[in-house]
Amino acid sequence: MHVPDGFINAPVSVAAGAVAVGAVAVSLRGARRELDERTAPLAGLVAAFIFAVQMLNFPVAAGTSGHLLGGALAAILVGPYTAVLCVSVVLLMQGLLFADGGLTALGVNITVMACVTTVVAYAIFRGLAKVLPRGRRSVTAAAFTAALVSVPAAAAAFTLLYAVGGTTDVPLGKVATAMIGVHVLIGIGEAAITALTVGAVIAVRPDLVHGARGLTAPLKLRVGGELVDAPATPAPAPAAAGSHRKLWAAGLVTSLILAGFVSFYASTNPDGLEKVAHDKGFDKGEKEHDAADSPLADYGVKDISNTRLSGGLAGVIGVGVTVVAGTAVFWAVRRRRDGDGTESGPASTATDDVTAATATAATSTTSATSVTKPAENA
């Protein structure tokens, strides 16, 4: 759903840019409470993973394809504020290096693809998390639903912007119907990718998943006939650090494989916005991208004639650039939080609570005679 230059007029593009700048500024401050020494590298990896998966267009219907937007996935893994930054980093890299999404439309894309998807998805996810039974399956189900709804919500947001600032006179009712209809189908793919990814990370390191905080119930001890909270027993630091590094390495390798090899088999059909724009005639306002002469334009390396090699190499470069840029941003935010001092408490406390709860839950199998088991995690 990358909006190109020329679809939206200058005044609305400027207004959307102002909204995007404000959202990024708020997110930079909010991300300080979400990031710590473990989740900052994960956030950079999430940005790289979103970049890689967005290269994997999947067919939906009638010669149309779709791809991950990523707002729901990022919000659940690293938190809503950090998610806005993750998707914004991806959109910036795509616009500057790969001529994907207009530069004058960058504010529109950040507003629609980063802000709307994240806000809608996280609101739905938190609402479902409060009413569903606590457990991994519930987190995965909530992630699926949140991601599914976030995609047509983004399509509706684009349609609203086009209604105000569209550069071509087309029937808006038909545009809205077509945009939301096809993006409901794309949302099913988004939901499946999001649920599978969140479930996989929870199975390995639930303490690193922002949306899974509080998943495990505190351990209870029976003392004098009453249940009391057991003292927290932190997990061994070296093992946790090793697990963290393994997760990061596995995620990076997966992203490189997806972008460098699996992308060979991505659908070549136009995505939802391209298809609707062509069918309804508002693609006539599209302007040539300012970075059309980039060496990596259109996800290929200039002067390499082999299409697969060119596309795969461009994907690998994109993942590398995105993970470096994202990690640098999130480490800077995390260092700023540590420097402030006043904002380091909530995030670190919440993370420590989850780690302690996870570690104490693991000890319950050896204390069955005196301990009440924690909430079911399966």
The predicted-structure confidence for 165-205, as pLDDT tens digits, reads as follows: 999 888 889 899 999 999 999 999 999 999 999 999 998 88
pLDDT of residue 360: 39
Q: How many whole angstroms separate alpha carbon 136 and alpha carbon 376?
A: 9
Residue 103 lies in a domain: yes
Tell me if 110 is assigned to some domain.
Answer: yes
- For residue 176, tell me if it sits in a domain: yes
On the question of pLDDT at 224 being above 80, the answer is no
CATH number, residue 74: 1.10.1760.20
Range with lowest mean pLDDT among 12-26, 136-150, 217-231: 217-231
**pLDDT exceeds 60 at position 319:** yes
Tokens of 190: 């988004």
Give the CA radius of gyration of the chain. 22
Condensed to tens digits (0 to 9), the pLDDT of residues 158-175 reads 999 999 999 988 888 989
How far is Cα 343 from Cα 30, in angstroms, rounded to an integer?
Answer: 9
Residue 2 predicted with pLDDT over 80: yes
Residue 228 lies in a domain: no
Q: Give residue 45's domain range.
A: 10-214+236-356
Examine residue 369 and state whether it is found in any structural domain, yes or no.
Answer: no
Closest-CA residue to 31 (of 88, 82, 86)? 82
Residue 356 has pLDDT above 90, yes or no: no
Q: Which of 184, 187, 179 is nearest to 280 (CA)?
A: 179
Question: Domain total for the chain?
Answer: 1
> pLDDT tens, 32-86?
999 988 888 899 999 999 999 999 999 998 889 999 999 999 999 999 999 999 9
Give the mean model confidence (pLDDT) for residues 100-117: 96
Q: Is the pLDDT of residue 257 over 60?
A: yes
Q: Read off the pTM.
A: 0.83
What DSSP character marks residue 330? H
Count of C-beta atoms within a 10 Å radius of residue 345: 10
Average pLDDT value for the chain: 85
Burial 272-286 (b: 16+ CB within 10 A, else e): bbbbbbebbebbebb
What CA–CA distance (Å, rounded) separates 322 from 211? 23
Position 108 in a domain = yes
DSSP letter for 70, please: -
In a domain, 204, yes or no: yes
Task: Assess if residue 229 is contained within a domain.
Answer: no
Q: 345 or 110: which carries more pLDDT confidence?
A: 110
Select from 151, 170, 207, 247 the least CA-distant residue to 361. 207
Cα-based distances in Å from 333 to 81, 207, 326, 369:
11, 20, 11, 46
Which is higher by pLDDT, 348 or 138?
138
What pLDDT digit, counting tens, does each position of 259-318 carry?
999 999 999 999 999 999 999 888 888 999 989 999 999 999 998 999 999 999 999 999
